[in-house]
Amino acid sequence: MPQRHVVQMSTSHATYGVCVLGTEVFLDTRRSTPKDATSFDVHATSAVTVHIIHSPMTKPMINSRWPLDPDTEVVVTIDVTSRTVNDNKVKISYYGREDNELSVAWLYLTCVDISLDVDLSRNGRVKSKGKDKAKWTWGPDGQGAVLLVNCDRDSPGAWQMDSTQVDIRTTADLQDMSVMLLRTQGPSAIFDDYQVVLHVPESDADKVRVFHAIWNDSHLQYKPVLGPDKLSYVLDHVGSGENTFYVEGLAFPDVGFSGLISFSVSLLEIHHKYSLGTPIFTDTVVFRVAPWIMTPNTQQPLEVFVCRVKPHAGLLPSTFKEEEWATQLTNCKLTICSEVETRSDRWIQDELEFGYVEAPHKTFPVVFDSPRNRGLKDFAFKKILGPDFGYVTREPPGKVACSLDSFGNLDVSPPVTVRGKEYPLGRILIGSPLPWASGRRMSKAVRDFLYAQKVQAPVEVYSEWLTVGHVDEFLTFVPAYDRKGFRLLLACPNACYTLFKEKQRQGHGEATLLVGLKGSDRRSIDDILADESLKNDNKHVQRCIDWNRDLLKQELGLSEQDIIDIPQLFILKGSRADALFPDMVNMLVLGRHLGIPKPFGPVVGGQCCLEQRVRALLEPLGLTCTFIDDYFSYHVLSGDVHCGTNVRRKPFAFKWWHMVP
């Protein structure tokens, strides 16, 4: 509840004060009431509106006077700003029992207008006089401004993010900031005895920085006025006009920080030149820091990243030339990272995840750098961070990263509706142990960050049963024209056994897996079906995948018709599983074009039966399947196509602030 503006009245001398347009001023008459007074009346000049607040039992007298009552209050408002100092007058007259006027209290008021304004309606424009500016609400009818973390690098010659700089080195940096306007109106002379102060709560100050745009010798300068080391800023030379401030975010939502940041402007009455002053009016606005948002496979691909590796030319099949890659895969931009840049680390999916941040006035991509920190550990910061391309990372304090900290263990579903609850930006999937079990787990710092973004409520699935332990080893999403607009693909040992049994019944039991691959463990269909140990391994794997299947049906609102089983076998090494042949769900999804690890399955009738089955499952959805030989470049090193690629995708058209988390 805002503090009331109270003015002490006096019958011994006139009282002078300031009020803000449209606000209430409570007149304290208790100290000024003469001892023998029994009633009073109030008169004011035309711009002043007088309100008498009284109990239901108190009634005005016949002569428009009011009986003196301890519960009666006099409140005045002014709805026109003053042209000169003290141009509004209020007169309170006190009367005795004989209706004689005992004394008079005079009040001279100067009305000013002060308003702190932001893009309250989230349409890219700053309007004045919004209602409930101190509240931030979600939904299409919600209100409240949006603030971007200034995590890109616009400044020429800089090597850090712009948010680390305490000054503005290029006007391009202003586009990453949100505008806040301070509008004031009233006689300039009145501000000799009053201060206008912009301030931020101490709890928010380390998460934001504010710059004041000031003309100096016909040039605009941007003075840092609020931030981690400064909680308040007193404005000089205040009069009728507009002051422009640029606000940059310094921190994403995280543990202990909801993302909400408030700013206030206060009008202070100065009683002494060394005093801090007393606030008589405060106006507050609230920003929410834009969350980091992941993009699912169903979003349009914009750029593909792949690392050059030896001895093969990356994962590029012999039928492709590197310069044709973008054309073959839906006209994406192709970025091939050199071995020098990657320090011979090929697993670019594990190192980073592309997302974006959005405000009504600006959207730009932001790369999330994992705490994996192998050969690619500096790649995102040194090679991707730049103008309008942001960077964020989270490092677990004092903890060595495990395999589950890699971002092959991080995915996001397409938009879903679950039991009537809409997730228009999808839900993040994190690979973890079973909820009640110990084991390897993605670091708390990363998980806390993902949960704190709010708009893609995470689901933790069971991936720790795998040797590498990543979600992309057993699931992915592909676009579809019908139903929900996508299908969930799950690796499925049962589907593979069903296919191999079918081929065995057709007389193809001698057809062999992994033919033509030097040093590979070739097995015929007959051998695979007769291997009881392998069969038991895959029964265990199937139970693990089925546990996830049920969880995802519940948490993503899926039915069996939304899921496609991709034939795949695994083999246990110790207590954890690896793919027996290239893992086909570990695919690259670029629009309706799929780059699928070539499984080198048993050849029947001149065709790989695994490829043939996958085509039959996916091509009716309008998808094109290209099988890529990644056996020696990725698979034998415990990864496949998805592990060795990464995709920057188009942001959602849906505005995150329109949802209700």
Task: Give catalytic residue positions.
Answer: 350, 470, 472, 643
Q: How far apart are CA 428 and CA 158, in angstroms?
A: 33
The single-letter DSSP state of residue 389 is: B
Identify which of 314, 332, 307, 387 has the alpha carbon closest to the alpha carbon of residue 649.
332
Q: How far apart are CA 593 and CA 650, in angstroms?
A: 16
What is the maximum span of the chain, computed from C-alpha positions, in angstroms? 122
Identify which of 478, 506, 476 has the alpha carbon closest to the alpha carbon of residue 490.
476
Kindly state the tokens that stand for 422: 């809409």
Q: How far apart are CA 583 and CA 589, in angstroms?
A: 14
Residue pair 392/350 in contact by the 8 Å Cβ criterion: no
Kindly state the tokens that stand for 630: 């990644």
Q: How far apart are CA 370 and CA 352, in angstroms?
A: 6
Three-state secondary-structure class, residue 285: strand
Q: Which residues contact 581 (CB under 8 A, 6 or more apart)?
A: 513, 514, 568, 569, 599, 600, 601, 610, 635
Place of tokens 């008459």: 29
Q: How far apart are CA 247 and CA 211, in angstroms?
A: 7
CA 380 to chain centre: 19
Buried/exposed code over 626-653 (b: 16+ C-beta within 10 A; e: otherwise) = bbbbbbebbbeebbbbbbbbbbbbebbe
Q: How far apart are CA 70 and CA 550, in angstroms?
A: 68
Residue pair 37/94 in contact by the 8 Å Cβ criterion: yes
Using alpha carbons only, give the angle 578, 579, 584 rounded to the nearest 5 degrees: 145
Length of the chain: 661
Q: Which residues contact 528 (CB under 8 A, 6 or more apart)?
A: 500, 513, 534, 569
Angle between the N-to-C axes of helices 532-556 and 493-505, in degrees from 0 to 180, rounded to the nearest 10: 130
Give counts: helices (H), strands (E), the chain: 10, 42
